[in-house]
Amino acid sequence: MKTTPSSKKFGRLPVSAFLAALALVAVPATTQAQTFDDYPAGDDYTTSMGQFQLQLDQRWVKIFDNIVPNSPLGAVVVTRRKGMKLYKKGGIFTSPTLFDFGTQIGRSDPFTVSSPEKYVGALAGQAPGRTYVRDPDLVLHPTWPGPATNGRVIHTFLKSVNMTDQLTTHLGFSVRAGMAATNRPVCVGQVEAGPNGGFPANSFFNVYAEVHIPGGGSMPSLDLVNVEPLLVQKTNLISFPPHLVYQHENSEAVPVYFNTNTVIFNPIGGTNIYVSRGELFGQLQLAGHGVSFSSVEVESFQVEFENESTNPAAVMPINLAPTNSVIVEDFHPDYNAVPRDLKGGKFVAGGQFQFTIQGLVPGTTNYLQRTESGFNSWETIATIVPITNTFTYSDPGASSRPNRLYRLSLLP
């Protein structure tokens, strides 16, 4: 008995009280390819630059209006030209410019939107650190029209982002996503080919992040998360990694919540407020997300951010009825995914031929097939919808069929 591979290849952001700008900065590409086929599945290694602005929930405005000015953070300036302060009375937090020298973005092989990979999952990234990205994982899609029936796409994900204020204030601010934020969902994305079947293309991501705001004096340190994805998008992508600035496309500011139980001293009443994980802190209204900006471009990035902060069209409007309390779920994404394959064939009791199928995406439909008459005639013998990423199959009576071959297919 033999197993054979499948016939398919398996294988502008306002920041209101918390998160704020997740800026990805990538190293400029040296050449501009015209086709997706120049980019097989793998990783892009680049840099990230970002800045965010948060609007605090009204519950916290008066308290932080008293706490922050009397803390070491009260006099901190986070931009150079206009001298924007870290905190503005009325509950506006503006982060310093954050930078990451080691951002990684995973890509899948290109495929057409009519391919089963769209729903069963395309393996993105390079080991170590790969994951399957499925179309249903893309919770929010930009308002532009989706790709045509035979349009080509590449599934992507933010593999690792860890932006800090290492080049600016050195206070300990950070924004983490992907494998740097192990309990958050995968930050999936998609690149959609243009009319020529490749570049220029459109790109977007659904971003889930962890934000850390350092404390000082009576100002407590804050750990925040978003549970609704932050949608960032950009058109006219011409290569990987790109050189551009992603813009938000959420219709309203994105709520951010406490990620830990926190104690906040109320200087007005002189008492402690015990805050539970999942309570609302504020809303992300503005964020700058630049790709392919170098470390020497901090000031130019800040100028752009300052301009955006005074542009009403660039700031996400406040959600007037945000959810005040949520259950913050801890996720455990599979970043050790492997290509779909058949492994370990052996005979077991009763003449059954048993093997394991690996690299499956739980909840997706896969088809196990066999043939005894060459590679042109396959029959489906099992429809597999696994609950884990592996599945063991036993074929009875196989001992009398020495020429039987097996494969896993995404099509029946």
Per-residue confidence at 27, pLDDT binned at 50, 70, 90?
very low
Q: What is the pLDDT of residues 268-310, one digit of tens each?
A: 989 999 999 999 999 999 887 777 778 898 998 898 888 888 8
Beginning with the edge strand found earlier in the chain, give each strand of the sheet holding 352-358 in spatial order. Answer: 341-348, 352-358, 390-395
Per-residue confidence at 351, pLDDT binned at 50, 70, 90?
confident
Q: Beta strand 188-192 with 210-213: parallel, antiparallel or unpaired? A: unpaired
Q: Structural domains in the chain?
A: 2-314 (no CATH), 341-409 (2.60.40)
Half-sphere exposure (Cβ direction) of 345: Cα atoms closer than 13 Å:
15
Nearest Cα to Cα of residue 76 among 94, 100, 54, 103: 94
Nearest Cα to Cα of residue 202 among 213, 212, 192: 192
pLDDT at 116 over 80: yes
pTM for the whole structure: 0.86
When pLDDT is averaged across residues 65-93 and rounded to a whole number, the result is 92
pLDDT at 9 over 80: no
Residue 141 burial (CB count, 10 A): 16
177 compared with 24, residue with greater pLDDT: 177
Lowest mean pLDDT among 120-134, 276-290, 397-411: 397-411
Give the residue carrying structure tokens 């390819």.
33
Instruction: Output 307-313 pairs: Cβ under 8 A, ≥24 positions apart.
Output: 308/12, 309/14, 309/53, 309/84, 309/94, 311/12
pLDDT of residue 81: 86
pLDDT of residue 149: 81
When pLDDT is averaged across residues 97-116 and rounded to a whole number, the result is 94
pLDDT of residue 111: 94
Residue 355 burial (CB count, 10 A): 21
Give the residue carrying structure tokens 């696994």.
386
Average pLDDT, the chain: 87
pLDDT of residue 373: 79
% the chain with pLDDT above 90:
62
pLDDT of residue 15: 30
Nearest Cα to Cα of residue 411 among 8, 126, 2, 3: 8
pLDDT of residue 25: 34
Rounded Cα gap, residues 164 and 174, in angstroms: 4
pLDDT of residue 107: 97
Lowest mean pLDDT among 175-179, 207-211, 215-219, 241-245: 241-245
pLDDT of residue 197: 85
pLDDT of residue 2: 46
Rounded Cα gap, residues 368 and 258, in angstroms: 45
Instruction: Encode burial over 316-339: b for 16+ CB neighbours within 10 A, e otherwise.
Output: bebbeebeeebebeeeebebebbb
Half-sphere exposure (Cβ direction) of 155: Cα atoms closer than 13 Å:
28
pLDDT of residue 26: 34
The encoded tokens of residue 303 equal 């100028």
CA dihedral 70, 72, 74, 80 (to 10 degrees): 170
When pLDDT is averaged across residues 28-42 and rounded to a whole number, the result is 72
pLDDT of residue 345: 87
79 compared with 20, residue with greater pLDDT: 79
Residue 342 burial (CB count, 10 A): 21
When pLDDT is averaged across residues 211-236 and rounded to a whole number, the result is 94
pLDDT of residue 146: 84
When pLDDT is averaged across residues 87-111 and rounded to a whole number, the result is 95
Nearest Cα to Cα of residue 185 among 242, 139, 126: 139
pLDDT of residue 348: 87
Q: What is the pLDDT of residues 235-269, one digit of tens each?
A: 999 999 887 878 888 999 999 999 999 999 999 98
pLDDT of residue 11: 26
CB 396 within 8 A of CB 350: yes
pLDDT of residue 33: 56
CB 405 within 8 A of CB 3: yes
Per-residue confidence at 376, pLDDT binned at 50, 70, 90?
confident
